[in-house]
Amino acid sequence: MTDPLGWISEALTKWEAQGLRRRLTARSGPQDGGLLALSGKSYINFGSNDYLGLAAECLSESVRDALAKCGWGAGSSPLITGRGELHAALERALARFEGTEAALLFTSGYAANVGAITALVGPGDLIFSDAKNHASIIDGCRLSGAAIHKYPHCDVAGLRTALQQQGPAARRRLIVTDTLFSMDGDLAPLADITELAAEYDAMLMIDEAHATGVFGAQGRGVAEHLQVEQGVHIRVGTLSKALGSHGGFVTGSQALIDWLTNRARAYVFSTAAPEALAAAGLASLEYVRDEPHRRQQLLAASASLRRALIERGYRIGATQSQIIPIYIGAAERAMQAAQTLRDAGLWVPGIRPPSVPEGESLLRISLSYAHTPAMIEQLLAELSRVL
């Protein structure tokens, strides 16, 4: 008898030869923005999205207290019995934080993007999506059934041309973009995009996943940083990066949130997240409000590291953030460099297709408030040796 799954082994072998196969690891101890323990070895961690250094310890007491009151599992979807008082309190706090009328919690940022897009557009509609948007946005676009125009990365002129030529025939138009791109570290040109959305009567949805807590005077993200919040209709964020917890959210008008509550399948048909996670989210918002020095110090350290890398001749592209790529090119070379750094005690992930396009494999440096100057100096020294 033939094995109907035999093709999988062949495909994995091919991926292995191309340097594209991934393998799971398991860390021990807490996920820390500065340190990481894997298989009995400790690393300086430049792979975490724990940008404000909150994940390891800062939120634990709030979670323990909530567990004593609420237990763990939510038991059902939010519309049945899964939504608790802490869920509701976090949604109100997120709306206040974002300066919007309402907010809705999702089980992840991925679910928030897929749920929002598929609820807002469908057949007969047209989506304008940045070429380097996150996979969750791409999948939401595909699942919606709407026509999709992928405009070149951060290309305002290309977006305008597409809106002019294709937009008028669509029932609804949705522009969707990351604000801080997770691999390249650059910022979307939101000032121009908000103007285009208004001019062409398009809904504008932004994903602030990597910017929430980091950018803006109050930590709301790139839209606040660029002072264009009033031109944004749908804001997506996550609790799992700078906010140190887990889950995603959408904020906007009350009408938008009421619509998503009824029509976002990723919300309606998912069991609610444990209520203790909402307690962690509430605590993290307090840290963002009360300790702005975390994001200020992070952005200052990021700017200093970017300057140092440029002075040493590394290609880091247009990054303006705490996410700093070093472009390598071939997947095999990127993974070899990552392994050599790992042997030296530095966890700097190598990123390869399909996370990035062919020929654009890179080392992704992710800075955290938890990194000390000595850690960053060690990174620079090892990069000089490896590259």
**Residue 13 in domain:** no
- Annotate 260-323 with three-state secondary structure: HHHHCHHHHCCCCCCHHHHHHHHHHHHHHHHCCHHHHHHHHHHHHHHHHHHHCCCCCCCCCCCE
Range of the domain at 96: 60-290
Q: Which amino acid is at 137?
A: I
Return the SS3 of 36.
strand
270 and 231 belong to one structural domain: yes
Write out pLDDT tens, residues 312-352. 999 999 999 999 999 999 999 999 999 999 999 999 999 99
Structure tokens at 344: 């030296």
Residue 31 confidence (pLDDT) above 80: no
Residue 354: what pLDDT?
87
The confidence band for 134, taking pLDDT boundaries of 50, 70 and 90, is very high
**Residue 21 in domain:** no
CATH number (domain holding residue 118): 3.40.640.10
Residue 270: what pLDDT?
97
CA nearest neighbour of 237 among 51, 98, 50, 387? 98
**Residue 8 in domain:** no
Residue 229: what pLDDT?
98
In whole angstroms, how far apart are CA 230 and each of 111, 223, 224, 234, 303? 25, 9, 9, 11, 28
Residue 105: what pLDDT?
98
Residue 355: what pLDDT?
87
246 and 298 belong to one structural domain: no
Residue 180: what pLDDT?
98
Residue 24: what pLDDT?
87
**Residue 274 in domain:** yes
Candidates 87, 132, 134, 210; catalytic one: 210
280 and 256 belong to one structural domain: yes
110 and 222 belong to one structural domain: yes
CATH number (domain holding residue 341): 3.90.1150.10
**Residue 135 in domain:** yes
309 and 349 belong to one structural domain: yes
Residue 25: what pLDDT?
84
Asked if 25 and 39 touch (Cβ cutoff 8 Å), the reply is: yes
Asked if 184 and 325 touch (Cβ cutoff 8 Å), the reply is: yes
174 and 249 belong to one structural domain: yes
Write out pLDDT tens, residues 95-114. 999 999 999 999 999 999 99
The domain boundary, picked from 290, 325, 343, lies at: 290
Residue 32 confidence (pLDDT) above 80: no
pTM of the predicted model, to two decimals?
0.95
Within 13 Å, how many C-alpha atoms sit on residue 227's CB side?
Answer: 0
- What is the rounded average pLDDT of the residues 198-219? 98
The confidence band for 375, taking pLDDT boundaries of 50, 70 and 90, is very high
Q: How many domains in the chain?
A: 2
Q: In what order do the strands lie in the sheet with 173-178?
A: 102-106, 248-252, 234-238, 203-207, 173-178, 126-130, 147-151
- What is the rounded average pLDDT of the residues 157-171? 97
- 241 part of the active site: yes
Candidates 241, 284, 302, 361; catalytic one: 241
Write out pLDDT tens, residues 11-21. 999 988 887 88
104 and 131 belong to one structural domain: yes
- 368 part of the active site: no
Residue 87: what pLDDT?
98
282 and 309 belong to one structural domain: no
Residue keyed to tokens 């691999």: 183
The confidence band for 82, taking pLDDT boundaries of 50, 70 and 90, is very high
Candidates 62, 182, 270, 366; catalytic one: 182
- 384 part of the active site: no
- What is the rounded average pLDDT of the residues 366-381? 97
Beta bridge partners of 374: none
82 and 206 belong to one structural domain: yes
With residue 105 as reference, give the H or E element that holds it: strand 102-106
The domain boundary, picked from 271, 290, 309, lies at: 290
326 and 337 belong to one structural domain: yes
Q: Write the DSSP string, 200-258.
A: TT-EEEEE-TTTTTTSSTTS--HHHHTT-GGG-SEEEEESSSTT-S--EEEEE-HHHHH
Specify which of 9-13, 22-26, 53-57, 124-128 reaches the highest per-range mean pLDDT. Answer: 124-128
327 and 205 belong to one structural domain: no
**Residue 209 in domain:** yes
**Residue 11 in domain:** no
- Annotate 107-160 with three-state secondary structure: CCHHHHHHHHHHHHCCCCCEEEEECCCCHHHHHHHHHHCCEEEEECCCCHHHHH
- What is the rounded average pLDDT of the residues 152-175? 97
90 and 236 belong to one structural domain: yes
Residue 57: what pLDDT?
85
**Residue 12 in domain:** no
Q: What's the chain's average pLDDT?
A: 96
The domain boundary, picked from 290, 314, 342, lies at: 290
